[in-house]
Structure 1
C-alpha cells in the first residue's frame, strides 16, 4: 500500500485551502454588482456597513459560497466511502443512481406538498432531506438486489445496474415534474440541473447537522475502509464486523448524499473525481484520503459555481452542468484506464 507522510497531507490541505480562498475572493468581488476587496472586508467586519453591500454579500453571495462548500465536502466524503466499500474506482453517487433516487423523492415531495408547504421555509427545509434519505435508500436497495451475484456485490454489475436505475429514477422524476403547476415546475427544473441559485442561510443551517456528525463517524472508521481494500474475506479474518460496518458506512454516505441533493439537486462527478485526486495526492490511507477528498469537493463546487456565474455572463450556468462538462471526459478516461 502506497503511503505518504502526514506532513504531505497537511501541505496538500493547506494548498487546497489557499485555492478555495482565492475562489471565494473572486466569488465575493465579481458579478453583476462588483465590490472592491476593501468594501468586502469592511462589510464582513461590520465597519461602516452599507445596506446595498450587506444585501449582496450576506443575502446572495456568501450563503451561496458556504452552501456550495458544504455540499462539495459532503459529496467528496460520500464518494470516497462508496469507492472504499465497493472497491470500485468508478463508484459515485451519480453513477450508482443514488443521486437520482434521492432526487426523485425530493421532486415527489415538491409535487405532493406544492401550495401547502413553503419549500424555503423551515418546515420544507428540514423535511426535504428526509425525503431524499428515503429515496437514497430506495435506490440503494434496488441496486443491491440486482448487483449481488453469488451472495457478493459484483463491482462490474454494480456500475451497470446503477446506471440503469439512475435512468429509471430520472424518468420518474421527469414525469412527476411535468405534472406540477408551471411555477413549481420552473423551480424543480432549476433544482434538477444542480444549482446553488436559491441558496440561503436556512439551507446552510439545515445542512450543518449532517456535516458536524457524519464525516466524523466516517473518519473514525477510516481503518475499516483500509481493511476493506484487502477483500471482504481478509477483512473478516482481521476481525472486522463486515456487514455492520458496511451498513453504517453506507448509511452515513447516503445521509450526506441525500442532504446535498435536497438543497442543490443532483450534482454528479464530484464523488467520482475527488477521491481519485485525493489518492494520487496523499496515498491510499483513508485517514488522509477522506479530508483531502472533502477539500477537493469544496474546491470543485466553489470554482464550478464561480465559472458558471462569470464565464457565461450575463447568463448563468448551473454548477451541476459545469461540473458535468468537466467530469464526463474524466469518467471516460477512467473507463479506458480500467479496461487496460
Structure 2
C-alpha cells in the first residue's frame, strides 16, 4: 500500500510538473506580443538578447508566472491544512473568511498609506514588504472569530464553522467595499481590481515580499503534515498518542493564515484554489498528507497559471481578473462537492 502510494505520488508529481511547464510555455509565448520558443530561449540564456523581448519576458510575463506559482502553492497548502484540522472537505480560506479578513486588512493599509497595487513601482517596495504583515493580522482576526463562534463545548461544530465563515466573509467583504468607496478615484480603481483577485501588475518586489513567508511557513507545515493524518482520528485518541491537540491545531492554523495572508497581499482574494486542489490531490494519491500536500501545491500552481493565461488572453487586449476565472471554474466544483457530501 505504501509503495503504491509512493508510485502514485511520483507519477502525479511528474505529470503535474509537465502540465505546469506546458501552461508556463503558453503563458510566456502567447499574448498581444507573440514570441517563439527560440526567442524565449535566447532571451533567457542571454543569447543575442533583444530589449523588447527582455521587457516582455522579465518585466511582464515571467513575474506573473512566478507569482501564480507561489500563490497557487500557498493556497493549495493552506487548503490541505484547513480541511485537515477541521475534518471538513468544504473548508477553504475563501469560504471560511480568512481571505476576506486578510483582504480587509490590506484594503485598510491601502486606504491609509495610499498604496496602489496595480500601479506600484520600486519606490513603494518597503510598503509592499509590509503588506503581508497587515494581511496576517487581518487573517488571524478572521480565523479567531470563526473558531470562537464555531466552538461548542470545547469542540468545533462543522456546521457552525461553515456558517460562521460565510458570515465573517460577508462582513469583512462589506468593510473592504466601504473603505474602497472612501478612496479617491485612482485608489478605488486599484482596490476594486485587486479585490477581484489579480496578478496583473506582478513584479519581482511582490515575489520577494511573499517568498520568505512561503518558504518558512510551507516548510514548517510540511514537517507537520503527519499530524494531519492523526487529526482524522477522534481527539481523545490523539491525546492518548501524546499529541497536544489544541496547541498543534492553533500553530497549524496560524501558519496557514500566514500563507494565505502573503498570497492575498500580492494577488487579492482568489477563492476556490484551496478548496479544489486538496480534493483533486486526494483523488490522485490517497489520503496520506505527506503526499497530498505537495500534490495539492502543484495543482494549485497549475490551476492559477492556466487561469491567469485565460484571463490575460480571452479578452485581449483587455484583461479579466484571474479571481473571476478561478471562480467560474470553482463554483460548479463547489456545488458538486455539496451534492457529494449530501449523498
TM-score with structure 1 setting the length: 0.97
CA distance in 2: counterparts of 1:277 and 1:176, whole angstroms: 37
Superposition deviation, residue 312 in structure 1: 2.5
Could you list the per-position Cα deviations for residues 293-334 of structure 1 after superposition, in whole angstroms to 9, with x for gaps in the alignment?
000000011000011112222321111100000100110111
| 1:175 correspondence with 2:178 | yes
Superposition deviation, residue 243 in structure 1: 1.4
Residues 110 and 116 of structure 2 are in contact (CA less than 8 Å); yes or no, is this contact kept in structure 1?
Answer: no
CA distance in 2: counterparts of 1:140 and 1:169, whole angstroms: 12
Superposition deviation, residue 2 in structure 1: 9.6
CA distance in 1: counterparts of 2:84 and 2:112, whole angstroms: 36
SS at match of 1:312: coil
Matches within 5 A, 1:33-44: 33-44=33-44
| 1:324 correspondence with 2:327 | yes
Paired positions, count: 340
Q: 1:226 aligns with which of 222, 229, 236?
A: 229
From the superposition, tell whether residues 2 and 164 of structure 1 become closer, same or farther in structure 2 (CA, over 3 Å): farther
Could you list the per-position Cα deviations for residues 249-292 of structure 1 after superposition, in whole angstroms to 9, with x for gaps in the alignment?
01110000000000000000000000000000000000000000
Could you list the per-position Cα deviations for residues 48-77 of structure 1 after superposition, in whole angstroms to 9, with x for gaps in the alignment?
100000000000000011011000000000
| 1:73 correspondence with 2:76 | no
SS at match of 2:31: coil
Residues 95 and 162 of structure 2 are in contact (CA less than 8 Å); yes or no, is this contact kept in structure 1?
Answer: yes
Alignment match, 2:261? 258
From the superposition, tell whether residues 240 and 4 of structure 1 become closer, same or farther in structure 2 (CA, over 3 Å): farther
CA distance in 1: counterparts of 2:286 and 2:194, whole angstroms: 36
Alignment match, 2:340? 337
Alignment match, 1:292? 295
TM-score with structure 2 setting the length: 0.96
CA distance in 2: counterparts of 1:151 and 1:102, whole angstroms: 26
Q: 1:283 aligns with which of 281, 286, 308?
A: 286
From the superposition, tell whether residues 49 and 115 of structure 1 become closer, same or farther in structure 2 (CA, over 3 Å): closer
CA RMSD of aligned residues (A): 1.6
Residues 28 and 61 of structure 1 are in contact (CA less than 8 Å); yes or no, is this contact kept in structure 2?
Answer: yes
CA distance in 2: counterparts of 1:292 and 1:176, whole angstroms: 38
Q: 2:200 aligns with which of 191, 197, 210?
A: 197
Alignment match, 2:312? 309
Alignment match, 2:11? 11
From the superposition, tell whether residues 4 and 267 of structure 1 become closer, same or farther in structure 2 (CA, over 3 Å): farther
Residues 2 and 283 of structure 1 are in contact (CA less than 8 Å); yes or no, is this contact kept in structure 2?
Answer: no
My pick for the range that moved more, 298-307 or 141-150, is 141-150
SS at match of 1:48: coil
CA distance in 2: counterparts of 1:316 and 1:115, whole angstroms: 22
Could you list the per-position Cα deviations for residues 73-110 of structure 1 after superposition, in whole angstroms to 9, with x for gaps in the alignment?
00000000000000000000000000000000000000
SS at match of 1:106: helix
Residues 3 and 285 of structure 1 are in contact (CA less than 8 Å); yes or no, is this contact kept in structure 2?
Answer: no
Unaligned stretches of 5+ in structure 2? none
My pick for the range that moved more, 270-279 or 109-118, is 109-118
Alignment match, 2:46? 46
SS at match of 1:195: coil
